[in-house]
């Protein structure tokens, strides 16, 4: 009798564990986007969110919660019940946040990877008056005139890239912080700073107008077509240089694995829709969907890499 009761108990437990995937979703899903409406992140979330709504037969509601370098929205997600009804849009500052700030939560522990969605690469730009045509030229100038070259940015991956250039190139290049990439680009065009890193889509108009000269891309391999096809990679001159921005989805830690796997599959299917794919590519993004485990590996690798850059270059939050 005792054995029978044990078998029944285990069967009930197994059924309870299986229930989330079978019943989910039974109500709307909240997708926190920790940025203001209208930006590139919001565009991706709304496109993918609409497809998820259609596929899951439940509304996926975008909730914009900007502020504190996106930590307001990410903390709200981390503190939400891990029931599959809250997810959060993330970019690399989910990794760099703990390295720059004292937070009330630990995003690396309190948020679980669901899916990587896209990647975006940057290009190293110099002011047209700088007598440098290659990355090697820049490093030579930095050694000949220590401290005179400047790398400006509005924070984020551009700031990390400036730091990585200084670190790997062993170059005495002065970092200049800005409150956004707009002011940084204005000063680059006017010759007030020597160089900056900007995402390829934003940089293109300045390149076409000869207001900035492209030197190299942060992609680990050369781009085979399009306006950047002729550019070398940063890693060809500085092996190991790999700074990539990306967009992904995470959920509160403890969210049932079967729900995370279902979300991952549905996000992948949404990204494969031709209209979504085309709009993201037009926005300068490269679709890159994989397993939750692969996304987790990327998060850990980026954390280790950026911790080293921040520690050894003394970069501060902007």
pLDDT (tens digit per residue) in 146-159 = 999 999 999 999 99
Residue with tokens 């509601």: 61
Residue with tokens 């564990």: 17
Residues 189 and 91 in one domain: no
Domain count, the chain: 2
- CATH number at 173 reads 3.40.190.10
- Per-residue pLDDT band for 20 (boundaries 50, 70, 90) equals low
Question: Of 205, 139, 160, 104, which is closest to residue 318 (Cα–Cα)?
Answer: 160
**Across 9-26, average pLDDT:** 59
Residues 147 and 225 in one domain: yes
> What are the b/e assignments for 264-298, b being 16+ CB within 10 Å?
bebbbebbebeebeeebeeebbebbbeebeebbeb
Residues 127 and 215 in one domain: yes
Residues 127 and 225 in one domain: yes
Residues 101 and 212 in one domain: no
Residues 50 and 161 in one domain: no
12 within some domain = no
- Of the three residues 226, 243, 260, the one that is the final residue of a domain is 243
Least confident stretch, 17-26, 120-129, 151-160, 202-211: 17-26
18 within some domain = no
Residues 180 and 91 in one domain: no
Q: Which domain holds residue 226?
A: 122-243
- Of the three residues 243, 269, 302, the one that is the final residue of a domain is 243
Residues 227 and 152 in one domain: yes
93 within some domain = yes
Residues 169 and 277 in one domain: no
Which pTM value belongs to this model? 0.87
Q: For residue 141, which phi and psi values (nearest 5 degrees)? A: -60, -40
157 within some domain = yes
Least confident stretch, 12-16, 22-26, 41-45: 12-16
Residue with tokens 């590519």: 281
Residues 178 and 264 in one domain: no
pLDDT on residue 50 = 97
Residues 235 and 262 in one domain: no
pLDDT on residue 69 = 87
286 within some domain = yes
- CATH number at 104 reads 3.40.190.150
159 within some domain = yes
Residues 264 and 284 in one domain: yes
pLDDT on residue 124 = 98
């Amino acid at each position: 009798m005792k054995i029978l009761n044990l078998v029944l108990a285990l069967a009930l437990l197994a059924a309870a564990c299986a229930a989330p995937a079978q019943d989910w979703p039974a109500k709307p899903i909240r997708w926190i986007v920790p940025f203001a409406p209208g930006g590139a992140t919001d565009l991706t979330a709304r496109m993918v969110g609409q497809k998820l709504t259609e596929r899951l037969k439940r509304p996926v509601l975008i909730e914009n919660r900007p502020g504190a370098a996106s930590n307001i929205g990410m903390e709200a997600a981390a503190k939400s019940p891990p029931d599959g009804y809250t997810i959060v849009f993330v970019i690399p500052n989910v990794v760099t946040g703990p390295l720059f700030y004292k937070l009330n939560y630990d995003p690396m522990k309190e948020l679980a990877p669901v899916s990587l969605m896209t990647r975006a690469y940057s290009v190293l730009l110099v002011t047209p008056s700088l007598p440098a045509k290659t990355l090697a030229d820049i490093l030579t100038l930095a050694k000949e005139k220590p401290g005179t070259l400047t790398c400006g940015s509005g924070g984020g991956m551009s700031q990390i890239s400036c730091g990585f250039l200084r670190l790997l190139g062993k170059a005495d290049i002065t970092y200049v912080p800005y409150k956004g990439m707009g002011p940084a680009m204005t000063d680059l065009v006017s010759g007030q700073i020597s160089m900056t890193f900007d995402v390829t889509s934003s940089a293109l108009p300045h390149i076409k107008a000869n207001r900035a000269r492209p030197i190299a891309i942060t992609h680990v391999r050369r781009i085979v077509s399009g306006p950047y096809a002729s550019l070398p990679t940063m890693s060809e001159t500085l092996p190991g240089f790999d700074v990539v921005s990306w967009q992904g989805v995470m959920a509160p830690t403890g969210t049932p694995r079967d729900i995370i796997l279902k979300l991952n599959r549905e996000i992948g299917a949404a990204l494969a829709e031709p209209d979504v794919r085309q709009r993201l590519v037009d926005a300068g993004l490269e679709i890159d969907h994989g397993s939750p485990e692969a996304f987790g590996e990327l998060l850990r690798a980026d954390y280790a890499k950026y911790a080293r850059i921040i520690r050894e270059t003394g970069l501060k939050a902007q």
